[in-house]
Amino acid sequence: IQVFIERKLKLPPSPFPTLPIIGHLYLLKAPLHRTYHKLSTKLGPIFSLQLGNRFIVIVSSPNLVEECFTKNDIVLASRPRLIIGKYVGYNYTSLAISPYGDHWRNLRRFNTVEVFSTHRLNMFISTRQDEIRLQLQKLYEKSKHDFVRVELRNVLSELTFNNIMRMVAGKRYFGEGEDNEESKSFRELIEEVFELGGVSNPGDFLPFLRWIDYKGFEKTLARVTAKIDVFLQSLIDEHRRYKNTSTMIDHLLSLQESEPEYYSDMMIKANIMLMLLAGTDTSAVTMEWAISALLNHPDKLDKARAEIDNLVGNERLIDESDISHLPYLQNITSEAFRLFPAAPLLVPHESSADCKIAGYDIPKGTILQVNAWAIHRDPTIWDDPTTFKPERFEAGEVAPPKLVPFGMGRRSCPGSGLAERVIRLTLASLIQCFEWKRIGEATVDLTEGKGISMPKAIPLEAMLKARDVLHKVLAEAS
Ligand code: HEM
């Protein structure tokens, strides 16, 4: 800050006091989006913090989000080098973590065409439907006679994890016959990374803590990611031996043949790791929140079910092509994205040159965070903002910068289309196939827990019972 004062910069307001060495680190309490929200009610929609040796700016209004990701989009398209990126991002080379530049552009292009294009997503429709059906079958076995108590978190994370694994590697990792030790420990390692990612690591802001490896953070991260690396390498080796043409690994391996240096094994592993980290929990957590909110509003659950029954009837399971004819279901997912954004502060950006936001000077190297969670609950934008009300979207689609669960601009989430497909079809299937009740009279607790993707503090449990459609479809099939 001293340097900025000497340069006579006009910086965004910041809280008092700034302590020597640690700056405002003393203010950071989890969950961060709530802490930032409180600060923004005092300091305004743009404010700054000095966290150790890093200067951070937090914005929390649609106008400022727009200014950041239109006028300043390129300058703000880089990422800070946080310690976790060294390990999880294979030395800052993976798409989500790499700095803005040619390498990022290449990766983004590859993923847009080979993973996230409509053509590629359509190729995996039957995989998604198959994974959902497998989970429905399991739940059916438990609930075909009467209401049973079920924990949903595992069901949903198994579903999203298998979906991504099948796109990436053409194989499931969980399920009958595959619940072996190898897959279990792989999943546990991925969960460990999520937990590590959820803590803001003081070593990122106070370099001397990094030298002494404060709380062994870096050592743990290195140990866990080294183990994951072994799994990922074995997946690649397997694909080298048995060629299949449609998975992401096969595509990257064929590119490796012509450009071995660029499409190295490390680059491929970084891409797989990213898909698993960015694409599984985010969707699972969103669905868990959505079902929780519906259980607390049974009238809305009934309304969604009536819409589905009307369109699909009870002779067949809903499929992806039905979703566009279900506006209320789509409104439910929009409302879940609004109230429970799985990345409440998006992913941190970094300015690669000096720029201005709201007339303030933003020096090169500033970390920018967007408080999407606060924007989504701002009473000047939304009526009755803390209430779950899918009807609010009946007036028409709401887009960025007001609704930004996937961010905005060139660094926004490339997986949003996939996430929407998985979330909508899974929710629709669960609503179509089961009667739902809360465990008791009390409403489902909606407290946020710790972790990178804003999980529920208490995993969701609910009572469910199979409906007619499942008896018909599954009994016929067996
Ligand atoms: C509910 C589900 C999801 C949410 C809420 C979500 C949200 C986000 C957000 C907020 C960002 C950062 C935007 C920014 O930097 O401003 C992001 C980036 C990213 N997401 Fe997602 N995401 C979801 C699902 C997925 C899925 C399913 C995938 C892939 C399988 C995915 C892959 C990525 C990647 C690769 C990036 C990095 C993009 C870059 O840095 O260029 N996401 N996501």
Ligand 1 centroid vs 153 CA: distance in angstroms? 20
Length of the chain equals 478
- How many angstroms does the Cα of residue 246 sit away from the middle of ligand 1? 23
Confidence label for 102 from pLDDT (cuts 50, 70 and 90): very high
Distance 406 CA to ligand 1 centre (A): 6
pLDDT at 7: 80
Ligand 1 centre to CA of 434 (Å) is 30
- Atom number in ligand 1 closest to CA 167: 30
CA of 286 to the centre of ligand 1 (A): 13
Decide if 57 contacts 46 (C-beta within 8 A): yes
452 lines ligand 1 (CB under 6 A): no
| Residue range(s) defining the domain that contains residue 261 | 2-477
| CATH number for the domain harbouring residue 309 | 1.10.630.10
pTM of the model: 0.95
Range ranked top by mean pLDDT from 6-10, 209-213, 388-392: 388-392
Q: Calculate how far, in angstroms, residue 388's C-alpha sits from the geometric centre of ligand 1.
A: 24
- Structure token pair of residue 172: 């499931």
Q: What is the pLDDT of residues 270-290, one digit of tens each?
A: 999 999 999 999 999 999 999
pLDDT tier for residue 243 given thresholds of 50, 70 and 90: confident
Pocket test for ligand 1, best of 413, 416, 422, 453 (most atoms within 8 A of CB): 413
What are the tens digits of pLDDT across the range 147-184?
999 999 999 999 999 999 999 998 887 665 555 677 77
Does any ligand 1 atom lie closer than 6 A to the CB of residue 160? no
95 CB within 6 A, ligand 1: yes
Output the pLDDT for position 173: 74
In the predicted structure, residue 466 carries a pLDDT above the cut 80: yes
pLDDT in tens, 378-425: 999 999 999 999 999 998 888 999 999 999 999 999 999 999 999 999
Among 193-202, 372-381, 461-470, which stretch is predicted with the lowest mean pLDDT?
A: 193-202
| Binding site membership of 415 for ligand 1 (Cβ less than 6 Å) | yes
Most ligand 1 atoms within 8 A of CB, residue of 406, 425, 454 to mutate: 406
Lowest-pLDDT range of 24-38, 189-203, 282-296, 422-436:
189-203
Question: What is the ipTM metric for this complex?
Answer: 0.99
Atom of ligand 1 nearest to the CA of 160: 27
For residue 192, name the pLDDT band (cuts at 50, 70, 90).
Answer: confident
* Segment among 62-71, 212-221, 393-402 with least mean pLDDT: 212-221
pLDDT tens-digit series, residues 17-61: 999 999 999 998 889 999 999 999 999 999 999 999 999 999 999
321 burial via Cβ count (<10 Å: 0-12, 13-18, 19+): exposed
- pLDDT for res 478: 61
- Does the structure show a pLDDT above 90 at 188? no
The Å distance, Cα 83 to ligand 1 centre, comes to: 19
How many domains, in total, are found in the chain?
A: 1
CA 226, CA 234: separation in Å to the nearest integer?
13
